[in-house]
Amino acid sequence: MTRRHTVGAHYGLRDWLAQRLTALVMAAYTLLLLGVALWNGGIDHSLWTALFGNGAFRLASFVFMVALAWHAWVGMRNIFMDYVKPVAVRLTLQALTIGVLVAYLGWTIQILWGVRP
Amino acid sequence: MKERPVYLDLPRIRLPLPGFVSFLHRFSGAVMFAFGIPLLLAGVGASLASPESYAALKSAFAHPLAKLVLVGFVWAYLHHFFAGIRHLLLDLHVGADLASARRSSAVAGLLAIALTLVVGARLW
């Protein structure tokens, strides 16, 4: 038995919920892309570029990547909290994770809305 | 406050099947975070940059090693997908008793392997 002191009242419910909601967002996008592929009997270059030429699909892709970044943050943080005990190392890894995820999102924006000559 | 019991000596833990599937859920997630996302972005970026880079990407995937890596990430995604859906169902108290939980872990793990084999067969 563990008796917790109920101070702070922040035991990760929000992270837990965000992890699940972002999972549903990503599952929906995955099924959408799978549906497009099955409906058209595969995806070739013209369909692929037409798909990403569509503003709504680009937005959906961006929402997917934001959900992925948030989801990955919760998951990686959970792994670090379980296995990396020294606080300095853990905080460094967590900070690096956030930096990498923000970079992934910047890269995503470049791909989706980058100026192509 | 009492010390909470913690036992995370990884090499000595004998995991039951649900634990093993759960471990693979974490493992696949971490691998996708570190390697899968950058490769995905590089691939999508190349596929959209120009018709030439699209063709170059396509011919790069003709290499068996590239196919093997792709199949590896397909498995990671599928395993994470099905093990994740299983966790969502468990959250809703669906199949939370021991027998069902053991069965569903086998179903999630095998479904991911089976679909990975289907994708692999189509790639080759």
Tell whether A85 is covered by a domain: yes
Full residue range of the structural domain in which residue A27 is found:
13-113
Question: Is residue B51 within 8 angstroms of chain A, CB to CB?
Answer: yes
Q: How far is CA A46 from the centre of its chain?
A: 27
Size of interface A-B (CB pairs under 8 A): 55
Cβ–Cβ under 8 Å, residues A49 and B48: yes
Burial of A66 (0-12, 13-18, 19+ CB in 10 A): middle
How far apart CA A64 and CA B47 sit, in angstroms, is 18
Tell whether A3 is covered by a domain: no
When scoring A54, A62, A79 by the number of chain B Cβ atoms within 10 A, the one with the most, hence best to mutate, is A79
How many domains are there within chain A?
1
Whether residue A57 is predicted with pLDDT greater than 60 in this model: the reply is: yes
Q: What is the mean pLDDT of residues A29-49?
A: 95
Tell whether A25 is covered by a domain: yes
User: The tokens of B24 are what?
Assistant: 């693979």
Question: Least CB-CB distance to A27: which of B38, B47, B81?
Answer: B81
Whether residue A117 is predicted with pLDDT greater than 50 in this model: the reply is: no
Instruction: Record the pTM.
Output: 0.89
Cβ–Cβ under 8 Å, residues A110 and A70: no
Going by C-beta distance under 8 Å and a sequence separation of 6 or more, which residues neighbour residue B67?
B61, B120, B123, B124
- CATH classification at residue A43: 1.20.1300.10
Q: What's the pLDDT tens digit per position in A72-102?
A: 999 999 999 999 999 999 999 999 999 999 9
What residue type is assigned to position B64 of the chain?
P
Domains of chain B, start order: 17-123 (1.20.1300.10)
Percent of chain B with pLDDT over 90: 85
ipTM, two decimals: 0.88
Contacts of B79 in chain A (CB under 8 A): none
Tell whether A64 is covered by a domain: yes
Whether residue B3 is predicted with pLDDT greater than 80 in this model: the reply is: no
Tell whether A7 is covered by a domain: no
Q: What's the pLDDT tens digit per position in B56-100?
A: 999 999 999 999 999 999 999 999 999 999 999 999 999 989 999
